[in-house]
């Protein structure tokens, strides 16, 4: 399964003790046995960073106090030992400096979203990626579910006809109370403009919804109308957002994101309607995809079904009826990025594999969306053009 010759080696910045998403990245990277975590700078505090590295079984001399030290040191190692890419899982404000430093030292980058703290930063990053010729990937795990692969394939094949309406929602309830004031670490940095960037809810989860909508439909947003709210008193960033969308083919859309939808867990849903058929998908029950027809019964497609397309098949690991979850979706990103890294290194032919990993262009569109939504929300005018990015 791991192909010719050893595992793909990666290092990690962030994700030390107590972090959430770092652990998910590492599990995802483990699942298929094709990746190896060889080094890390897991925390801004050197001691904590080292403790985390030890707990993860990393050699003591590759438990680095900070990312600059790590990149410098790794770059001096023999090619067959040194890390091949870095996974960035820090708060948002650090994404840019880490990514730039990694590229500078010749390492590919796989970054948690959003790509940077601001759109300008992301343009700088885009330019750096292009200049480097290296690989850049952004972890939007929801796009890597098997049934999202299927949804995308069906839309691309014209099964829905011309797309007319796109409804995407991402609702959570965990920030319904000001828990950032009572020491919840995740809430602290995600509600803090210094660390999260300009977007609160819109940047934390709205951007996932935006990416999913463009990814599945293949359409591009051209105009938007936004209303971002700070529902919980005293918050500096939005915690709820409604955005009306217009797409490049004339389709209309509605994006609703909220972190104050009390009682909701991680309710990301997508509905797309064309002139022939519609589809519906819910992240909390990710192995089911509905295709809704005008004149015959709705069909319930399931992960593992023999009737699915090639890409959806490749994205699944167990037979139908054995549920695949969030970690498996995330693992698809790591597996695909590892394949990219191998092909880049020439150790495998540049295979035309399924590739669920969004790249720098998707990253830039995500940042542009956050930026545009914030700008549109502050304006009295209804419609605003989506920024042109080249």
> Which residue in the set 194, 275, 310, 385 belongs to the binding site for a copy of itself (CB under 8 A)?
275
Q: Is 260 helix (H, G, I), strand (E, B) or coil?
A: coil
Query: Whose CA is closest to 193, among 62, 90, 92, 303?
Result: 92
349-355: long-range contacts, CB 8 A cutoff, minimum separation 24? 353/314, 354/149, 354/310, 354/311, 354/314, 354/315
> Which residue in the set 18, 218, 325, 350 belongs to the binding site for a copy of itself (CB under 8 A)?
325
> Which residue in the set 51, 65, 104, 177 belongs to the binding site for a copy of itself (CB under 8 A)?
177
249 binds a copy of itself (CB under 8 A): no
For a copy of itself, which stretch binds (CB under 8 A), given 61-69, 86-94, 200-208, 263-271? 263-271
Query: Alpha-carbon distance 280 to 269, whole Å?
Result: 7
Given the complex with a copy of itself, which of 37 and 115 has the nearer CB atom? 37
Given the complex with a copy of itself, which of 283 and 340 has the nearer CB atom? 283
Given the complex with a copy of itself, which of 193 and 323 has the nearer CB atom? 323
| Total number of residues shown for the chain | 390
172 binds a copy of itself (CB under 8 A): yes
Q: Is 113 helix (H, G, I), strand (E, B) or coil?
A: coil
The β-bridge partners of 270 are 168, 281
Query: Alpha-carbon distance 70 to 58, whole Å?
Result: 13
Smallest distance, Å, CB 16 to a copy of itself?
Answer: 12
179 binds a copy of itself (CB under 8 A): no
Q: Is 270 helix (H, G, I), strand (E, B) or coil?
A: strand
Q: Cα(first)–Cα(last) distance of the chain, in Å?
A: 39
> Which residue in the set 60, 294, 346, 352 belongs to the binding site for a copy of itself (CB under 8 A)?
294
181 binds a copy of itself (CB under 8 A): no
> Which residue in the set 43, 90, 258, 332 belongs to the binding site for a copy of itself (CB under 8 A)?
258
Query: Whose CA is closest to 89, among 146, 18, 143?
Result: 18
> Which residue in the set 48, 51, 104, 164 belongs to the binding site for a copy of itself (CB under 8 A)?
164
For a copy of itself, which stretch binds (CB under 8 A), given 65-73, 189-197, 207-215, 315-323? 315-323
157 binds a copy of itself (CB under 8 A): no
Query: Alpha-carbon distance 122 to 106, whole Å?
Result: 19
31 binds a copy of itself (CB under 8 A): yes
For a copy of itself, which stretch binds (CB under 8 A), given 86-94, 125-133, 197-205, 304-312? 304-312
390 binds a copy of itself (CB under 8 A): no
The β-bridge partners of 272 are 166, 279
> Which residue in the set 67, 71, 273, 369 belongs to the binding site for a copy of itself (CB under 8 A)?
273
Backbone φ/ψ region at 250: left (φ over 0), alpha (ψ -120 to 50), beta: left
**187-226 positions binding a copy of itself, by CB under 8 A:** 225
Query: Alpha-carbon distance 209 to 212, whole Å?
Result: 5
């Amino acid at each position: 399964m791991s192909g010719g010759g050893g595992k793909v080696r990666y290092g990690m910045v962030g994700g030390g003790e107590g972090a959430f998403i770092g652990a998910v990245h590492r599990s995802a990277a483990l699942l298929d046995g094709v990746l190896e975590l060889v080094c890390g700078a897991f925390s801004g505090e050197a001691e904590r960073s080292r403790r985390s590295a030890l707990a993860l079984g990393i050699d003591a001399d590759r438990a680095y106090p900070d990312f600059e030290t790590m990149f410098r040191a790794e770059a001096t190692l023999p090619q067959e030992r040194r890390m091949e890419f870095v996974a960035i899982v820090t708060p948002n404000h650090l994404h840019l400096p880490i990514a730039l430093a990694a590229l500078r030292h010749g390492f590919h980058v796989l970054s948690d979203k959003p790509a940077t703290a601001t759109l300008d930063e992301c343009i700088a990053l885009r330019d750096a990626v292009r200049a480097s010729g290296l690989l850049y990937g952004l972890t939007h795990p929801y796009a890597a579910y098997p049934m999202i692969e299927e949804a995308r394939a069906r839309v691309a094949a014209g099964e829905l006809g011309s797309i007319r309406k796109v409804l995407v929602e991402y609702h959570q309830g965990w920030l319904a109370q000001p828990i950032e004031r009572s020491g919840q670490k995740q809430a602290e940095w995600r509600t803090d403009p210094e660390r999260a960037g300009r977007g609160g809810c819109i940047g934390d989860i709205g951007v996932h919804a935006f990416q999913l909508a463009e990814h599945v439909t293949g359409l591009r947003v051209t105009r938007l109308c936004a209303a971002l709210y700070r529902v919980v008193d005293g918050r500096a960033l939005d915690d709820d957002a409604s955005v009306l969308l217009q797409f490049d083919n004339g389709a209309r859309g509605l994006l609703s994101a909220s972190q104050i939808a009390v009682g909701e867990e991680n309710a990301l849903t997508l509905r797309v309607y064309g002139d022939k058929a519609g589809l519906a998908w819910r992240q909390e029950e990710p192995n089911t995809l509905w295709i809704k027809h005008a004149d015959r019964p709705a069909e319930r497609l399931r992960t593992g079904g023999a009737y699915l397309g090639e890409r959806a098949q490749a994205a699944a690991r167990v037979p139908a009826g054995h549920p695949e979850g969030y970690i498996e979706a995330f693992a698809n990103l790591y597996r695909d990025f590892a394949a990219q890294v191998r092909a880049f290194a020439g150790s495998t032919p540049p295979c035309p594999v399924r590739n669920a990993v969004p790249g720098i262009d998707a990253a830039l569109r995500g940042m542009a969306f956050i930026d545009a939504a914030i700008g549109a929300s502050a304006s009295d005018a209804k419609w605003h053009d989506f920024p042109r990015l080249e």
